[in-house]
Structure 1
Amino acid sequence: MSGEARGRAQVLRVGIVLVAWLLATSGARSLMAPDEGRYVGVALAMLHSGDWLVPRLDGLPFFHKPPLFYWIGAAAMGVAGPVEWAARLPSVLGASAAGIALFAFLRRWTDDRLALWSTVVLATMPYFFLGAQFANLDMLVAGCISATVLLAAWAVLAHDEGQPWRAALALAHAGAAAGLLAKGLIGLLLPFLVLAAWCAWTRRLATLWRLCRWLPGWALLLALAAPWFVAMQRAYPEFFDYFVITQHFRRFASSGFNNEQPFWFYLPVLAGLTLPWSLGLLLPRRGNAAPEPGAAARDVDRLMWTWLIVIVVFFSLPRSKLVGYVLPVLAPLACVVARRILASGPMREGRGLKAAAAAAMALCLAGVGTLVAMPQPGARLRLPADARIGPDDQVLMLDSYIYEIPFYWHLRAPVMVLGEWKNPPEPERDDWRKELADAARFDEARASRLLVDASRLPAILCAPRVTWLVGPNNSQLQHPWLAGTKLVAVNDRLAVWRHDGAARRGSHCAGLSDDLPERQP
């Protein structure tokens, strides 16, 4: 085989092993609330509705994020059915893209040993491994960002060495388009910030400027990413203000959306969740343990450090911080750790590296085991074997929206949700109320049917059809009329009741009348 063919075969083998490693335990546990239930539920609704353009949460347009995760998840569940590993496949593919791109890039611009061990370190970081098996958008966009940075840097290095660069740059633009469709503007902004800072450090800004003016790349990016955004703006005039202004800029500047944390929050997160590999940064460098890297390898090292610093600082600036935000730094961190270990003397020997990799794999699997043992009330609230939700039955959730119930109950239609929808209190943070209320703005007619208040309970429950009621297991304190229904299932947090309705419309049932009593305080 030629050197190029041998390199492609190596990349293929690494990719197969990486996907198999990440996929092996991705179906071992139930969906976690709220994130996994929310995003998987949107993907499943897309599959069931046949509308592959508009993401919907409980049947209402849900524009918190773009649709790439939902497209991949819906397609996977369309083939395999609503099973956990298919629901998590978008995250597995995002992580795999980061690992494969890292291996291919380092193999081309440094050496095979660093490429291999950087990929091993990345794949066995508990932070990376568990993020790859968590069904939300963070790992998918992290993979897109990582691939975009590495491909664009490949194009920069190749351009300056007089080698072919257009294919790499075209793929970088495709990666940026995928990042835009995965989580919005950060899919394009973060790679640009990293590349601009790196090119300034290595005195390549002129090269970056020339490559930025390559119009075929931008044409490819727009052809891939723009149609969905244009379609949504045409169908929903408020889309731009909500998706761009609110979900990007206001979220970045505000502390009310997510957890407020100090500026240094991500430093202990990265150190702790990448054990044991993060300890490799403490190893002393031995003078003759490894040869000094060449010019290209030194520039690769500068790329990795720039990448680490830019993204950590970017996500440290806002007060709201979530653990998954900095997943894009794991690829460069893995390279930095592997470089340090390979230059440390004794750890360069195969036995020490293999022992560290085995320990890291054990921590990854222990993390999965810990998550399996964690209680998930929505996932465990299964209907008895003799209870079946018929095609004409209706489901009403009481004062809550349990995201994972539609997935585990195989519901194909939206459910009704009881709450204070006419004059709701302004939520301080993101929760199910805010998400449904925001979605209702884009389809008020459907929202009026699905989001119900107490005054509509007689018409809903006294119709001649079966109603399944789901809510906290103490809901009877708030709704005494539940005493007239049949308790079907209960666990430590949730319960299900069945109400068979009335023989004819207008009949009173379950102790309800047209004048409902006030809800208990």
Structure 2
Amino acid sequence: MKSLRNSIRQSNRRSTFISIAIIFLWLAATAGFRRFTAPDEGRYAGVALEMIRSGDWLVPRLDGLPFFHKPPLFYWIGAASMSVFGVSEWPARLPSVLGATLAASALLMFARRWADGVSASVATVVLLTMPFFYVGAQFANLDMLVAGCIAATVLAAAHAALAKEHGGAWRRALALAFATAALGVLAKGLIGFVLPGAIFLAWCLVTGRFRAAWMLAWWPGWCIFLAMAAPWFVAMQVRYPAFYDYFVVTQHFRRFAAAGFNNAHPFWFYGPVIVGLTLPWIGWIGWQAVARRHSGHTSAATTASAAFSDVDWLMLVWFIVIVVFFSLPKSKLIGYVLPALPPLAWFIARALRATTPTRWMTSPKLQWTTGVAAVICVASVIVADRLGTPPGARLYLPAEERIAADDQVVMLDAYYYEIPFYWKLKHTVMVVSDWQDPALPLHDNWRNELSDAGRFEPARAATTLVNREDLPRVLCMPKRTWIVGSSASFLTSPWLLDQRFVPVAHNQEAAIWRFDGPQRPSAGCVAFGKPARPSTGDAS
């Protein structure tokens, strides 16, 4: 008997391992298919690349300056991945692929244990073939990584509560919940713990599990959480005394409450976003609602499927907390609600079962929907490649041009996040703008990011963030300079019309010039004149 139990346990482990491998391969298959979408992917991949280039894996850096918009987990994984697999899009997106794999695997294992294997498999397939989830898994930013951590935390904590009720082992699952919460905090800050904690607490209250709510106070879990999450934050506060105010107060509370940031949308913004980006699967919930309204009677199977279980309540609370939380602030990005997709996939699977109560796993409707959804997923990657950053907006360095290790790169009134990555630059670039502009902190753009970063290391910023009046000092050094700016930069910087500034490449958005420089330092090597006031909009 013991041998039989061991055999079943080994078989289950093998099945779980194979399932996770398939999940990962499906999500990773096209992760290297397209180039980066500017500016977000270039920004986050560039910070990870900076860790490799500088050897400083403790402080995230944007163009050599401390970048504390977000914690370091994404950058650590991306840097480690690129160190192993080389500098390209696929390893740079691996943190997002792993986050999605974690979310889907956690949903599969939890539902297998506390629902049934068929529902678990269908819900996982639905999640994996949602275009919203699939493309999010292959986008190099922090949203999918923290979504995976939140999903794993919620499901591990719920598993611990249910297991304890049934007299099973629960401490390992609860320890895992605290560990993944710590990873969530290292991925994107306080929401990595606050959101799954709020979901778990609300579920306990809704289902009358008042004692289970006290599991949030489990002291061994807090020891695990603090041991994993605290060291980096403490190290940054010790090294940069202004870190707490900037990272916690500004990036969490001020950004959540303020209305002056980009991407302002109405409260209902995520409704159409979720519906539109989860087609065709979301249609099954609508079909279920229509079927209920037009049905003259309710079958026993439908009644059974309609009864809410503990798992259903967990998924409902989970979905509502995520959507409402991110709908409250004025600033909204599409990827913020990625943590709401696993519970949505569960309810879509539930709707499928309600509308196809017999042999629903082999239903042609399910198979056709899966096939169409999978095709849309792959097509969405192609569309994202074309529309994310239009081909005419990409800036390529001609094959015959080579940037030497001691060349300097100067960007005029713009910061092109993807260029350090694609040009494989060994040094930081110098960015020319009006860095003394008193209105600079009022705008949520690239200048604000770099200016904020420069405040943590003013000496380094003085050599990286160049005011326009200091441009002669930069260009008149005896070294080659590559200048990147908008295609109309010569209107605000007429010295670019000097024949010594050789146009190298241009497109509808940007241009590159090469300046070979004087033989020796000379303050008057170029007739700069008085520049016109430049535009300070976002580079994309």
**What's the TM-score once normalised by structure 2's chain length?**
0.92
1:466 aligns with 2:477: no
**1:140-179 residue CA offsets vs partner (Å, 9 max, x unmatched):** 0000000000000000000111100011011101100000
Aligned to 2:26: 21
* Structure 2 partner of 1:372: 385
Q: Which shifted more, 23-32 or 4-13?
A: 4-13
Does residue 356 of structure 1 match 2:374? no
The separation in 2 between residues aligned to 1:378 and 1:454, in whole angstroms, is 28
Q: Which residue number corresponds to residue 417 of structure 2?
A: 403
Q: Supply the RMSD in Å over aligned alpha carbons.
A: 1.8
Amino acid at match of 2:223: A
CA distance in 2, matches of 1:56, 1:315: 27
Relative to structure 1, the CA distance from residue 507 to residue 323 in structure 2 (aligned partners, 3 Å threshold; closer, same or farther) is closer
Matched, 1:292 2:304: yes
Between the aligned partners of 2:90 and 2:363, the Cα distance in structure 1 is: 33
The answer as to 2:531 corresponding to 1:518 is yes
In terms of mean alpha carbon deviation, does 389-398 or 297-306 score higher?
297-306
Aligned with residue 282 of structure 2, among 266, 278, 285: 278
Q: Cα offset for 1:507?
A: 5.7
Rounded to whole Å, the distance in 2 between the matches of 1:345 and 1:392 is: 67
User: Does structure 2 conserve the Cα–Cα contact (< 8 Å) formed by 1:377 and 1:491?
Assistant: no
Count how many residue pairs are aligned between Structure 1 and Structure 2: 516
Distance 2:44 2:374 in 1: 28
- Provide, for residues 8-39 of structure 1, a one-character-per-residue CA deviation record: whole Å limited to 9, x for no partner: 22221221111111111111111111111111
- Alpha carbons of structure 1 residues 412 and 379: separation in structure 2 relative to 1, 3 Å: farther
Q: Does 1:342 align with 2:353?
A: yes
Q: One-letter code of the match for 1:462? A: C
Task: Call closer, same or farther: CA 1:266–1:294 in 2, change over 3 Å.
Answer: closer
More displaced stretch, 241-250 vs 264-273: 264-273
Structure 2, gaps ≥5 residues long: 1-5, 293-297, 535-540
Cα deviation, residue 380, structure 1:
3.2
The equivalent residue for 1:219 is 223
Q: Which residue of 1 aligns with 2:318?
A: 307
TM-score (norm 1): 0.96
**Do structure 1's residue 452 and structure 2's residue 457 form an aligned pair?**
no
Kept after mapping to 2: 8 A contact 1:464/1:503: yes
Q: Deviations over 1:116-152 (max 9, x none)?
A: 0000000000000010011000010000000000000
Contact 1:377–1:493 at 8 Å: present in 2 too?
Answer: no
| Equivalent residues of 2:392, 2:508 under 8 A apart | no
Give distance in 1, aligned partners of 2:421 and 2:265.
32
Offset at 1:378?
9.2
Q: How far apart are the structure 2 equivalents of 1:379 and 1:16? A: 37
What displacement does 1:294 show?
A: 11
Which of 88, 92, 95 is 1:87 aligned to?
92
2:243 corresponding residue in structure 1? 239
For 1:434, the equivalent position in structure 2 comes to 448
Report the equivalent of 2:341: 330
Distance, in Å, in 2 between the alignment partners of 1:177 and 1:425 is 37
Picking from 415, 423, 429, the partner of 1:415 is 429
**SS state of the match for residue 401, structure 1?**
coil
Q: Which secondary structure state, in structure 1, belongs to the residue aligned with residue 304 of structure 2?
A: coil
The alignment-based identity, stated in percent, is 56
Q: Which moved more, 1:115-124 or 1:455-464?
A: 455-464
Further displaced range: 376-385 or 304-313:
376-385
Segments of 5+ residues of structure 1 without an aligned counterpart are none
Distance 1:250 1:331 in 2: 29
Secondary structure at 2:382 match in 1: helix
**What does residue 329 of structure 2 align with?**
318
Give the counterpart of 1:188 among 185, 193, 198: 193
What is the CA-CA distance between 1:293 and the residue it aligns to?
Answer: 6.2
> Aligned residue for 1:153?
158
**Do structure 1's residue 111 and structure 2's residue 122 form an aligned pair?**
no
Question: For 1:497-519, what per-residue CA distance to the aligned partner results, in whole angstroms no more than 9, with x for missing partners?
Answer: 0001111112632334xxx4233
Aligned-partner residue type, residue 265 of structure 2: Q
1:245-264 equivalent positions in 2, closer than 5 A: 245-264=249-268
Task: Please give the per-residue CA displacement for 1:363-411, whole angstroms capped at 9, x wherever unaligned.
Answer: 1111111112234469832212221111111000000000000000001
**CA positional deviation for 1:496:** 0.5
The answer to which of 99-108 and 487-496 deviates more is 487-496
Residue 443 in structure 1 maps to residue 457 in structure 2 = yes
- How far, CA to CA, are the matches of 1:18 and 1:351 in structure 2? 23
Secondary structure of 1:310's partner? helix
* Residues 222-254 of structure 1 deviation map (CA, whole Å, 9 limit, x = unaligned): 111110000000000000000000000001101
Distance 1:235 1:379, change over 3 A: farther
Tell me the equivalent position of 2:537: none
Q: How far apart in 1 are the matches of 2:274 and 2:523?
A: 61
Q: What secondary structure does 1:489 align onto?
A: strand
- Equivalent residue for 1:44? 49
Q: Which residue of 2 aligns with 1:205?
A: 210
1:391 matched to 2:412:
no
